Structure 1
Amino acid sequence: MDRAELAPSIDHTVLGPGTTERAAMDGCAEADRYGANACIPPCYLEAVRGANPDLTIATVVGFPHGQHAPAVKCEEAVRAWRAGADELDVVCNVGRLRAGETDAVREELAEIVAAVPIPVKVIVEAPLLSDAELDRACEAAVAADAAMVKTSTGFVDGGATVEDVGRMAEHLPVKASGGIGTYDEAMAMIDAGADRIGTSSGVAILEGAPDPANG
């Protein structure tokens, strides 16, 4: 897959406790330059959207632990959409999922999906889940009418694996995220079934991809 083919599958990500508005702006400018998408904190959406009217921008909801009250997550989703987000990456409540409260997880996700007219990706934190729990998380996302499932926030140990991506792809399109820093790593995830790559190394990955323009 060459650089131009890969770029639309990359969500160039600028998320973290120290992320500034300038960093979000710069990340979006990089994404736009390479033909990728961007994922930024919700607090910077309005400013960044104004400077990048044509860029596909995702933001996060319930980040990073997913343990906000459901009504708060719904309100956050609506506010993000109104501020200009094209897509939402919503952290599911992993604690409830692991406690066997799958119905509560499904109902919360369904409320968020129904609250906005844009695609919702469900972050399941696969590194924290057994295979059975991962299946239940993906099934809850399917039942909630989510557009995609995402492996991880990138803030837990483990990150994305080809095994988890393959398993998740049996349920919904997959965004692989967490520890993906090179072109070869990104391609391994795509070969395993990922449709999207979430990474803070979007530029490095795309620079490592074959570029037909250079022969």
Structure 2
Amino acid sequence: MKYTIDDFARLIDHTNLHADATEDDMKKLCAEAKKYHFKMVAINQVQSHFCAEQLKGTDIDTGAAISFPLGQTTVACKLAETEDALKNGANEIDYVVNLTQVRAHNWAYIEDEMQKMVKLCHQHQVPCKVIFETCYLTKAEIKQLALVARKVKPDFIKTSTGFGTAGATVENVRLMKETVGPDVKVKAAGGIRNTDDFLAMIAAGAERIGTSSGVKIIEALKKRFAEDGISAIEI
């Protein structure tokens, strides 16, 4: 598949999830998203209304992080937090699975949680992304979690929050994509800070990239395109 600069930009969830992010930081994030035509701003749930207002009239989504970054809240809490985010203008949802239940291999709990979150999001016609936090999981657990997602069919499964002990790896992105099949997409996030890593994640099967380095990555790609005299890259 060939990607133009805008195609690459539309793969990026432009991210600021810092606990101390200010209103000015959120304005800057949204302004950069508009300038570069990123797909989404990824923000803490409490910022949903502010960012939705900043992005009103654009095709850039407001993505709220739910039960972030630990995932250690009940299903009822996750649903309530999601409802509130949607009410306040969020139109994409990224939620963290209950890792305690994943590590206990309580797949019935995980499936129930995922079904309820996906159902709520789809009732509101917004995408639902399920964050695995792969740094805490074995390969077998990542695979089984992806098999649950293959059955439930969220819009995306996502590697990481960026707040764990490690972020996305090419190996995990490939494993997730191979396991989940064609009906669910993969989002790579966590530690993706340069163009080579960005392109490697796409080549491994990621169809969305969460990063706080989107501006740097796109500027580097523009420079590469100009130097090579090209208008698209095939991956």
Measured in 1, the distance between the counterparts of 2:162 and 2:192 equals 9
How many pairs align? 215
The residue correspondences of 1:1-215 to structure 2 (distance < 5 A) are: 1-36=3-38, 37-53=40-56, 54=58, 55-116=60-121, 117=124, 118-170=126-178, 171=180, 172-210=184-222
- Counterpart contact for 1:153–1:177, Cα < 8 Å: yes
Deviation sequence 1:125-180 (CA, Å, 0-9, x none): 11111111001111222333311000000011221100000011120311000100
Task: Please tell me the residue identity of whatever aligns with 1:74.
Answer: L
Task: Please tell me the residue identity of whatever aligns with 2:15.
Answer: T
Which 10-residue stretch deviates more, 21-30 or 118-127?
21-30
Measured in 2, the distance between the counterparts of 1:63 and 1:30 equals 23
Percent identity over paired residues:
37
- Counterpart contact for 1:127–1:156, Cα < 8 Å: yes
TM-score (norm 2): 0.87
2:48 alignment partner, SS class: helix
- Counterpart contact for 1:107–1:144, Cα < 8 Å: no
- Counterpart contact for 1:165–1:176, Cα < 8 Å: yes
- Counterpart contact for 1:2–1:209, Cα < 8 Å: no
2:149 alignment partner, SS class: helix
Structure-2 change in CA distance of 1:157 and 1:75 (3 Å): same
Measured in 2, the distance between the counterparts of 1:113 and 1:160 equals 23
Which 10-residue stretch deviates more, 120-129 or 110-119?
110-119
Deviation sequence 1:77-129 (CA, Å, 0-9, x none): 11111211121001001111111111101101111111222110000011111
TM-score (norm 1): 0.95
2:129 alignment partner, SS class: strand
Measured in 2, the distance between the counterparts of 1:204 and 1:210 equals 10
Which runs of 5 or more residues in structure 1 are unaligned? none
Measured in 2, the distance between the counterparts of 1:41 and 1:158 equals 20
Residue 21 of structure 1 and its aligned partner are, at CA, apart by: 2.4
2:209 alignment partner, SS class: strand
Measured in 2, the distance between the counterparts of 1:122 and 1:63 equals 11
Residue 213 of structure 1 and its aligned partner are, at CA, apart by: 7.2
Task: Please tell me the residue identity of whatever aligns with 1:130.
Answer: T
- Counterpart contact for 2:30–2:54, Cα < 8 Å: no
Task: Please tell me the residue identity of whatever aligns with 2:203.
Answer: D
Measured in 2, the distance between the counterparts of 1:18 and 1:123 equals 22
Task: Please tell me the residue identity of whatever aligns with 2:55.
Answer: N
Q: What is the root-mean-square deviation in Å for CA atoms of aligned residues?
A: 1.5
1:159 alignment partner, SS class: coil
- Counterpart contact for 2:44–2:66, Cα < 8 Å: no
Task: Please tell me the residue identity of whatever aligns with 2:187.
Answer: K
